[in-house]
Every structure is written in C-alpha cells, then in structure tokens.
C-alpha cells in the first residue's frame, strides 16, 4: 500500500518521496508497517465522513422542506434552496480540484470543510427564505471541494492497483447517505426541528477536521504558480448558466422564452471560449491534455450518462411507488433499498476484485449492459405491477450502477499523472453532476408533460372538460399517498395511470441514454493499474516550465496513461 502521505514520525520531502534515510521497501515492512496501516485507515475514515457530509445534506434537507416553508414562507422560491446548493457545487468543483493540485490538497480540503460547516451553521440560523438560499449557496461552495478533495487525497495516498476496495467503501458511504438521509431528516425535523438538518453537520465536520489535521501529511508544493482567473470565470459562468437552463427550462420559464434562450447562448459562448483560453495559459484550471487519454475521455462521457440515469432514477422511482403503489413518503429512503443495496454490494465486491486482479475492463461493460436492461424493465411497470416485481427490476439497475459508480473515478485517476490527480477527480465529479442536472431536468419535463396531458385527456373523456382533473403542482411534483386518498376514485385511478405512463416515458429515455454508456464502455482500454512504486516515481511538473514538462522526466510515471 502506498502510504507516503501518512504521518507516523517520518518526514516527506517536497518532491513526494519517502522519508529521509528510508527506502521505499522499509515503509511497507517492519515495525512501521502497522502504524502506517492504522494511519491510512484513520485518514480514509475522515475522508468518508467528508463524503458523507456532502451526500447526506441534500437527502436530509429534502424531507425537511415542507416544515421549512411552513416556518419561513417563500414557497415560490422553494426550488432555489436546492438549485443554489447544486449550482455552486457544480461550478466550484473543477476550481477546487485545480487549487488542490497547485497549493496542496490538505490545506485546500480543510478550507472546503470549514466553508461547508460555515454554510451549515448559517443555514440552520436562517430567518428568511432569502437568507437560507444564500447560505445554501455558501454550503454548496464548500461541498464542491469535499468530494473532489476526498477522491484526490485517496489518489495521492493509495496506488490505483490498491484503490479499488477503498472506492467500493466510498460507494457504500454514498448508498448509506441515500438510504439514511430521508429517514434521519424526517426524524430530526419531527423531534428537534428543521434547523438540526443543518446543525447535524457540525459535529461530523469537526471530527473530520481534527482527524485530517492531525493524521494527514501530504507533500507541499514548491511553487503555487498563477491562478487561471479567466478560465475560472468562463467555466463558472458557463456551468452556472447551463444549470439554470436545466433547472428553469420548462418550469420557471418556457423552453422558448427569451430568458432560457439568453442563458443558453451565454452558456455556449463561455463554454466554447473556455478551451481556447486554456490552451494559452501556463496553469489552466482544467488542463486539456488530460483528454488526450482515451480512457479518461471515455469515463468522463460515461460518468455524465451515469449521472443522468442515476439522479433521474432516484427522483422518479419514488414518484411511481408513492403515486401508483401507494407507498408512504416518510419511508422514501427505504423505497430505494432495492437499488441502493445491490449498488453498494457490487461496488465493494468489484473494488476488491479490481485490487486483487488488477483487471477492470469487463466491469464497465457489464454495468453498461445491466443499467439499460434495468431501465427498460422499469419502463414496463404499470398500475398492476407488484412491489416485489418492481424491486427486482430496481435491483438490476442498482447492480449495473454498482459496476460503474466508483470504477469510473479509478480509471480516470489511473489515466493521468500524479500532478493532475485533482483535475481528474474534479472533472469526473463535474461530468457526473452536470449529467444529473440534465437528467432530472429533462426527465422532469417529460414526466410532467405526460401526466398533465394524460389527466386532461381523462377529464375530457369523462365529460369533465378538465374541471375534475387533478392538477399537478408546478414543476411536476407528485401527489403523495395521503393526498391521493382524498381524491374521487375516478380521478385517483386516472392519476395512477398518468404517473405510470409518465414513468414509462422517463425510463425509456434514460434507457436510451444508458445504451450510449454501454457502447462507450467497449472502447475502454485495459491499461495496467499503477502500483505504489510507479505512482511515487511520478515527479510533479516544473512550475516554471510548460504544463507537460514532467512527462519526459519520469518515463515510469506514464505507465497508467491510456491512449
């Protein structure tokens, strides 16, 4: 195990080498091995806590939102509580990754934790909906660095060959957050009040801060270089506009409205100008040379598509179970167990198998086949589908996602040099986040349009001319089981058929997109995973030289570059 970044009394030089007077072999053997192993586990535990914070927050807040609106008001701005967090998370992700590469990952990671905790504390103390939205944006800014920092630090400490089993554990933490978030959020809101949905982050974050500060010691950068401000602004504005388009299009504004067209045009201009700027600066915020690796480019595309499918499925599966199968919204986390448990188990098993064998190419192909299969099975559900049958369909989807969730990150990190680890982690996370934003937005438009059209047709067929139709809330939100029970039997039946038809369309769309991931997976090349020595042999780039200057310095460092 590569443990050069762990403090156990040994010093780490500025070039990322071993302790003075020690050989690399002595680090893995003898009396120092056990303390290092314990230190590695402590650091990984702190990283998992950070990932848990980033994933858990949105899941907890969702169940608290009705109570928040009841106290603070501002129902018309409700979507911004989520959008502000998502927007700043997505926009800041690549910037956090590059800052970690330039200034050192430990300090940047600690700053992101502090910002996240400050956002959590102020969100819990918010007195108006406007304040809550602003503080959620601050919290999202910190969250953008939590996931990226955790993955990049893991990439520094552990070689790709050994990293699979730990990434499987990370996937387990994510699944735990998805399952437990709504349950914890509901309990905290009912027992202590909605503000504790934010305050709960404070003790967890404090633990992560203490553990990272005391145990983790990474090599320091010799020269910070210059920040690519122009690239950062272009990327931030471009991503922000794209997220706003996907969040507002078809809900706040019509797709053909001047607002959506203007935002789309600005996003295109910024994102098109971005690569031209990046080619001309010494320290680009997103070095384009990482895309020269075929594997890196492929997993970026696959990550986008997996995000599209995963976030969409997590949104619309509960709609079907609540609107058609009559499940309670309070158990929304448990409703997703048939997806999340197979995803967690497969992620862990696949990670350990990758570590043991060093082989991974088959897993994206298997996952790429199972995901569309699961989605096409889910598309067959109707009002007569039992929970057992839908659970089996969901298990197929969850297993497919388990093969891809963390393996895409592993392949991306194995495809770049050590100096670009932060960029690789942030780019992979960014593509998945943007894919999720597009997925939820486009599927939401399809779902809402189908349900509204179906209800209108049912009302007209019943001679009601729309008067008795159950109208969906703005944005396509569902009616819960309690609300459905209050509807007339004919309207309730029409609504159930409408929701079943809407989810049918949504899952067909997701399945078609998932097929593209399956095709892309076949082109992944089986590049050997770097071991500990190959990773340590990679020298950081000379800050005074060109971006690619390190490539000629350490031929061994290119062993993991896919082409």
pLDDT tens sequence across 248-295: 777 678 878 899 999 999 999 999 999 999 888 877 888 888 888 899
* Cβ-based neighbour number of residue 128 at 10 Å: 12
Q: Do the Cβ atoms of 31 and 10 come closer than 8 Å?
A: no
Residue 216's DSSP bridge partners are: 6
pLDDT of residue 50: 81
pLDDT: which is higher, 339 or 543: 339
Average pLDDT of the residues of the chain: 75
Q: Which pLDDT value is given to residue 557?
A: 35
| pLDDT value of residue 28 | 39
Torsion of CA 356, 146, 174, 8, to 10 degrees: 40
Distance CA 518, CA 244 (A): 29
pLDDT at 33 over 80: no
Counting every residue, how long is the chain?
563
* SS3 track for 113-128: HHHHHHHHHHHHCCCC
Contacts 24+ apart (CB under 8 A), 459-465: 459/494, 462/490, 462/494
Token output for 317: 């599966």
Residues with Cβ within 8 Å of 108's Cβ and at least 6 positions away in sequence, in order, are 96, 99, 100, 145, 149
- Most confidently modeled range among 24-38, 161-175, 422-436, 453-467: 422-436
pLDDT of residue 264: 92
Average pLDDT score over residue span 11-16: 36
Burial (0-12, 13-18, 19+ Cβ within 10 Å), 103: middle
Which range, 14-28, 288-302, 452-466, has the best average confidence (pLDDT)?
288-302
Name residue 253's beta-bridge partners: 249
Counts for the chain of helices (H) and strands (E), in that order: 20, 0
Q: What angle do CA 478, 482, 484 make, to 5 degrees?
A: 60
Give the sign of the dihedral formed by CA 385, CA 388, CA 394, CA 396. Answer: negative
């Amino acid at each position: 195990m590569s443990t050069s970044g762990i403090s156990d009394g040994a010093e780490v030089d500025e070039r990322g080498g071993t302790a003075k007077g020690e050989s690399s072999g002595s680090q893995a053997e003898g009396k120092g091995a056990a303390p290092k192993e314990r230190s590695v586990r402590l650091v990984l535990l702190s990283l998992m806590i950070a990932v848990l914070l980033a994933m858990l927050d949105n899941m907890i807040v969702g169940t608290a939102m009705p109570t928040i609106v009841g106290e603070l008001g501002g129902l018309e701005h409700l979507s911004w509580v989520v959008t502000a967090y998502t927007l700043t998370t997505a926009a800041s992700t690549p910037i956090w990754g590059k800052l970690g590469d330039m200034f050192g990952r430990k300090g940047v990671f600690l700053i992101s934790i502090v910002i996240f905790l400050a956002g959590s504390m102020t969100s819990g103390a918010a007195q108006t909906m406007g304040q809550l939205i602003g503080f959620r944006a601050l919290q999202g800014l910190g969250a953008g660095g939590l996931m990226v920092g955790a993955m990049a630090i893991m990439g520094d400490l552990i070689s790709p060959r050994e990293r699979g089993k730990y990434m499987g554990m990370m996937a387990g933490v994510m699944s735990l957050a998805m399952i437990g978030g709504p349950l914890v959020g509901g309990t905290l809101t009912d027992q202590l009040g909605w503000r504790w949905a934010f305050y709960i982050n404070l003790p967890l974050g404090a633990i992560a801060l203490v553990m990272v500060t005391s145990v983790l010691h990474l090599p320091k950068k010799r020269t910070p270089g210059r920040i690519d401000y122009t690239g950062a602004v272009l990327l931030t504005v471009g991503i922000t506009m794209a997220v706003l388009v996907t969040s507002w299009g078809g809900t706040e504004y019509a797709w053909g409205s001047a607002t959506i067209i203007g935002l789309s045009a600005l996003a295109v201009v910024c994102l098109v100008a971005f690569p031209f700027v990046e080619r001309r600066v010494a320290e680009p915020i997103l070095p384009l040379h990482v895309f020269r690796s075929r594997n890196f480019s492929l997993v970026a595309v696959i990550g986008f598509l997996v995000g599209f499918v995963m976030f969409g499925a997590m949104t619309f599966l509960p709609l079907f179970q609540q609107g058609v199968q009559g499940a309670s919204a309070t158990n929304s986390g448990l409703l997703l167990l048939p997806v999340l448990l197979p995803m967690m188990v497969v992620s862990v098993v696949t990670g350990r198998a990758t570590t043991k064998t060093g082989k991974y190419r088959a897993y994206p192909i298997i996952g790429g086949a199972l995901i569309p299969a699961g989605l096409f099975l889910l598309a067959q559900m109707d009002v007569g589908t039992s929970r057992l049958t839908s659970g089996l369909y969901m298990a197929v989807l969850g297993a497919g996602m388990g093969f891809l969730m963390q393996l895409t990150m592993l392949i991306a990190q194995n495809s770049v040099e050590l100096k670009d680890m932060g960029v690789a982690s942030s780019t992979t996370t960014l593509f998945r986040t943007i894919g999720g934003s597009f997925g939820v937005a486009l599927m939401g438009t399809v779902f809402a349009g189908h349900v509204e059209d179906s209800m209108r047709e049912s009302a007209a067929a019943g001679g009601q001319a729309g008067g008795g139709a159950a109208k969906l809330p703005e944005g396509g939100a569902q009616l819960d089981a309690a609300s459905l029970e209050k509807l007339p039997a004919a309207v309730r039946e029409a609504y159930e058929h409408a929701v079943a038809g809407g989810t049918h369309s949504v899952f067909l769309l997701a399945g078609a997109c998932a097929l593209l991931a399956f095709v892309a997976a076949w082109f992944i090349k089986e590049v050997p995973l770097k071991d500990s020595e190959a990773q340590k042999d990679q020298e950081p780039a000379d800050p005074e030289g060109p971006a690619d200057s390190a490539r000629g310095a350490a031929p061994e460092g290119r062993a993991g570059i896919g082409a």
